[in-house]
Structure 1
Amino acid sequence: MANLSSPAAPRSPIGPPLVLASASPRRLELLARLGIKPDRVLATDIDESPLSREIPRAHAVRLAAEKARAAAALAPDGLILAGDTVVGVGRRILPKAEDEATARACLSLLSGRRHRVFSAIALLGPDGHLREALSETIVRFKRLSDAEIDAYIAGGEWHGKAGGYAIQGSAEGFCDWLSGSHSGVVGLPLFETRRLLRAAGVALA
């Protein structure tokens, strides 16, 4: 059995360079589980505000594609991999928490109920061909006490996270049921990513 914790090997120079359109260390770690080390990492800066009446699923798909196109403008010869993860409650898109009040509001809303996590990926080739995939995961949180929310807020791992939590951290202790892709909730659905990369001709084990 392969050691999934070993460092990813450099990619073969055959084919366009693989560019990860994200500065997220989580996405780099997840790619490494597939044995992939991108040739370049490019952070993108786009407006992530939801459109009027936009639902969580469509929001995730649109942002992943826009991030890919933004990175392609800087690396036109690259094979661009971009992703976006959105937490939704019904038609409501939960924000990425940038302050304690937002994180607390998100956790209070998610307490004791199910929510959906949409993790979209976009793979844009230098020829302009766009491949897309979407992972949808249902997550249920236990009912959270005020003390549990206070402690989680104090830990700070909510900062910048969709829905105000990071499932790869201590918030996994809040999750009593999950149906779908755990890696998708973290930020990069590995099954869908592997399938898109193989379809684009990237050599994978």
Structure 2
Amino acid sequence: MSTEPQLDAPFIYLASQSPRRRQLLDQIGVRHELLLPDPQEDAEALEAERAGESPEDYVQRVTLAKWEAARLRLARRQASQDLPAAPVLCADTTVAIGPDILAKPVDQPDAARMLARLSGRTHRVLTAVVVDGNLLLSTSHVTWRALGADEIDRYVASGEPMGKAGAYAIQSQAAAWMQKIEGSYSGIMGLPLYETAELLRPLGWRF
């Protein structure tokens, strides 16, 4: 449920539909109000990859583009709905193996292909977070044990991979495959809390 902002209490606008990001903000006590795209906005177009772009450059560019779209969205709504001013937070997560970006799978075979690539090796999870134009990047390394084809098939059939970068969620049954994590667990979930707190401290938040 959305946290209702009060004019006498600090809050942020969260431009994300991810329930995990809302959960993580609640964890560190950051009040937030959703700032979701208008029906006419093509939010998915902002995630289009560019030839030759590194995963690190990609996730930072996309996050900044989403923040700019959210900032303009807020300005429109303030003009028509008299919304209070508050910082805007955006984040984006991608999974990478070397120079290759493993984005959200387009269908079940694509999800199975991604999971097979992750099997038995180490990959990077990159999450960029922006608050009022200031950006920080969290990079984590995740090592999986080798997976059998039947395990991949069962996970794909569960529907969990769809809509997830790299075709998995760390807070799902896929956690049983992870031998080692180096970096930020919350960043792998979708919102690195250390970086988020560092961006909010200059704006008056205390943790």
Q: 154, 168, 171: which is aligned to 1:151?
A: 154
Q: 109, 116, 130: which is aligned to 2:124?
A: 116
CA contact (8 A) 1:8 1:36 kept: no
Q: Tell me how far 1:46 sits from its aligned partner.
A: 4.5
Q: Tell me how far 1:155 sits from its aligned partner.
A: 1.1
Q: What residue number does 2:62 align with? A: 63
CA distance in 2, matches of 1:174, 1:11: 40
Q: What residue number does 1:127 align with? A: none
Report the count of equivalent residues.
193
With over 3 angstroms needed to count, the CA separation of the structure-2 counterparts of 1:78 and 1:9, relative to structure 1, is: closer
CA distance in 2, matches of 1:153, 1:27: 23
Q: What residue number does 2:189 align with? A: 186
Q: Tell me how far 1:102 sits from its aligned partner.
A: 1.0
**Residue deviations 1:74-107 (CA, integer Å, cap 9, x gap):** 1134411000001000000112013101110000
CA contact (8 A) 1:65 1:122 kept: yes
With over 3 angstroms needed to count, the CA separation of the structure-2 counterparts of 1:94 and 1:193, relative to structure 1, is: same
Q: 31, 34, 39: which is aligned to 1:37?
A: 31
Instruction: Write out aligned runs for 1:10-29 (5 A).
Output: 13=7, 18-29=12-23
**Residue deviations 1:44-100 (CA, integer Å, cap 9, x gap):** 714211111001111111111111110111113441100000100000011201310
CA distance in 2, matches of 1:133, 1:27: 16
Q: What residue number does 1:141 align with? A: 144
Q: Tell me how far 1:150 sits from its aligned partner.
A: 1.0
TM-score by length of 2: 0.87
Q: What code does the residue aligned with 1:144 have?
A: L
**Residue deviations 1:149-193 (CA, integer Å, cap 9, x gap):** 011111111110001101111111111111000110110000000
With over 3 angstroms needed to count, the CA separation of the structure-2 counterparts of 1:17 and 1:46, relative to structure 1, is: farther
CA distance in 2, matches of 1:8, 1:159: 24
Q: Tell me how far 1:9 sits from its aligned partner.
A: 7.5
Report % sequence identity: 37
CA distance in 1, matches of 2:57, 2:6: 34
Any stretches of 5+ residues in structure 1 without a counterpart?
Answer: 1-6, 125-129
With over 3 angstroms needed to count, the CA separation of the structure-2 counterparts of 1:150 and 1:136, relative to structure 1, is: same
Any stretches of 5+ residues in structure 2 without a counterpart?
Answer: 76-84
Q: What code does the residue aligned with 2:177 have?
A: F
CA contact (8 A) 1:8 1:32 kept: no
Higher helix share: 2
Over aligned residue pairs, what C-alpha RMSD do you find? 2.0
CA contact (8 A) 2:11 2:31 kept: no
Q: Tell me how far 1:14 sits from its aligned partner.
A: 5.1
